[in-house]
Amino acid sequence: MGSLRLTGWASAQRGFPAAAAAAPEWGVRRRPRRCCHGVPLPRPRCAPSPAPAVASSLGVGAAGHLRDGAEREWLWDCRGGAGGGARDYTREMEVAVRVVQVACTLCQRVQDALLHPGADAGGRVHSKLDRSPVTVAAVRASIFAYGDILLCSFMPDWGVQAIVSWLLSNSFHDENISIVAEEDDETLSSSNGAALLESVVEAVNGCLVEAPKYGLRSPEKELGAHDVIQAIRKCSSAGGPKGRFWVLDPVDGTLGFVRGDQYAIALALIEDGEVILGVLGCPNYPMKKEWLNYHQKYYRLMSKVAPPPLGSWHKGCVMYAQKGCGQAWMQPLVHDFGKLDWAHPREIQVSSISDPMSATFCEPVEKANSSHSFTAGLAHSVGLRTQPLRVYSMVKYAAIARGDAEIFMKFARTGYKEKIWDHAAGVVIIQEAGGVVTDAGGRQLDFSRGIYLEGLDRGIIACSGALLHQRILDAVDASWNSSTL
């Protein structure tokens, strides 16, 4: 049979194309340049070697030499930014961006396998216990040949969670890593989950073996099923108002993922109830704003008709920001661009549009947990005339941070509670890019009360500027009593 067995990620993905010259600028509105606080800075040639723990986690040997596969490091430095005298989060930011890059690569490979199965392979979707559509993450294929069953099951939800958990724990081995994440191991550990678990383990190992390409350490030996289960179980923190913990949404926008559309990998660091760092991986985010209005299948088709030049940013990026820096940044995906590009990140900023008639607003694609009719009424009342941009996942936050849209509104239906992993990373990125995010009462979102955004006033509103934000708040107050939410 002409089937393709995806055994071991490394064997199917040997190397990356060499990156060409940096792509031209693409229309980001830039504020006057401040000093270089918050910008990834090159290490001076005579800089002392990093501390052993940091060097080990970032792929640097004890003598300061890079191990095979690791690149010359670039440092994130925001200590003197808007927060003045803030704690140095260089290490956390570098590791978080690298980890999300690895996670994006896994998801891209899985999605490609799901969307382009062999002629005799079929895809199927596995439901989580809450009946939401998780892909066996898309089960790549179930191939039946002469009674021999070849099951290639790839689950980015569990796979990404295991990878992020292992990489964070390994990178910060001197610290007690606490992670709040969406998935648990119940399905994988069940009596019916043996084949699924085996596939997840294979996917995790196939991705971790390439960690040195991202400046991270690989396991000394392959992880077993027990190791993967333990990594997933480690993501069981309940959050809260004290201490430090990471927040992970391994695949935000599962329906978008299954359909070959937008999805995101979101990682944030929360300390004493405040979001400190946010990293958002958007593997299918097109560099041209207009492509956001089309289903990804058309974008992929046009990309084949007119392939982008090698090394250009045609799609896929990781955005990141630190609270108090006043700046947010973006770099291309390694999987698309061919290398980890710390040297030439691009600053992202919110749009300068303040006229509602010219503004674009985002809302969730799914109607199950949000009211499209209410947001449509609000849009009309404030004079929004542009068709809504309906985008899966936290890519909505990315669109506002990058200036591709101006307003995001979400008003949950009765009984639905917002989770912190669906918002933490996106909120800090928008805020540092110059935007505003609050609940519908104008209050800051509270990430200090566990896994839910408790005390949320009606809904969430994110805007590119204070004027648009206030107009939406006023419209909510005027329309709420007559709504049917």
Angle at 356 between CA 349 and CA 406, to 5 degrees: 25
Strand partners, 439: 460
Rounded CA-CA distance 358/381 in Å is 14
The Cα–Cα gap between 319 and 416 comes to 28
Query: Could you give the residue numbers annotated as active site?
Result: 157, 254
- DSSP per-residue codes, 8-56: -HHHHS---PPP-SPPPP-----PPP--STTSEEEPPTTPPPPPHHHHH
Give 310's DSSP letter: T
The one-letter amino acid at 219? P
Tokens of 315: 């799609």
Beta strand pairing status for 346-348 and 328-332? antiparallel
The answer to whether 281 touches 101, Cβ cutoff 8 Å, is yes
Query: Which run of H or E residues covers position 189?
Result: helix 186-189
Q: Are 453 and 445 in contact (CB under 8 A)?
A: yes
End-to-end CA distance of the chain, in Å?
A: 54
Q: How many other C-beta atoms can be found within 10 angstroms of the C-beta atom of residue 54? A: 18
The helix/strand/coil state of 204 is helix
Q: Which of 138, 229, 214, 141 is nearest to 171 (CA)?
A: 214
- Contact of 379 with 388, CB cutoff 8 Å: yes
Which residues, including other chains, have CB under 8 Å from residue 126's CB and lie 6 or more apart?
134, 135, 136, 137, 139, 153, 155, 196
Alpha-carbon distance of 483 to 485, in angstroms, equals 6
Q: Are 200 and 152 in contact (CB under 8 A)?
A: no
Distance (Å, rounded) from C-alpha 367 to C-alpha 479? Answer: 20
